[in-house]
Amino acid sequence: MAPFPAIAQSIGTALEKLIGAEFGARGTLFAAGFVTDCINRAHFPRIGFSGLMLPVLEDATLAARSAYSLDSLLLYSTVCGTGLDTIPLPGDITVDALAAILLDLATLAVKLNKPLTARLIPLPGFQAGEITRFNFPYFANARVLDVNANALKIFETDTQVEFKNDSRT
């Protein structure tokens, strides 16, 4: 299932139809696990990645919903084929916060003995809760996720990522 930001090709829409509720509601973990099991049991030639992906910016329904958090996406990654995929993050996210997110994802990958990826996208000038304004046919606009920075102070540095591009599109 290749992602594309249109409702007709949305895995988010398919999952919602399966559980009868918005993506992120209770039952989403079941839906992700069920679809993953169906893919794994299907007999077809496999090349490259062939599992359930939840790419926030590459799926119209996932981009439109706000009933989920970064923690929810980490939870769903335990039963699907990828980790945190095309996640819009605030532009002022710190190195410590990024490192903590990646440590959580890496811990899941090691404990579950499965590869998990991360495509985290800090957006200069954007804060948590704001809607992106991409002018790119392969991305849908979505809410910038809150990284719960207070809970991520696990390192001793106060280093902050500086992104030179100040474009908000």
Task: Describe the crossing of helices 28-41 and 70-77 by its angle, rounded to 10 degrees.
Answer: 30
Higher pLDDT, 61 or 46: 61
Q: What is the pLDDT of residues 89-112, one digit of tens each?
A: 999 998 888 988 999 999 999 999
- Find how far residue 106's CA is from the centre of its chain: 15
The per-residue pLDDT for 151 is 55
pTM listed for this prediction? 0.84
Q: Are 89 and 152 in contact (CB under 8 A)?
A: no
Domain boundaries along the sequence of the chain: 7-152
pLDDT band of 16, cuts 50, 70, 90: very high
User: What percent of the chain has a predicted confidence (pLDDT) above 70?
Assistant: 87
The per-residue pLDDT for 64 is 95
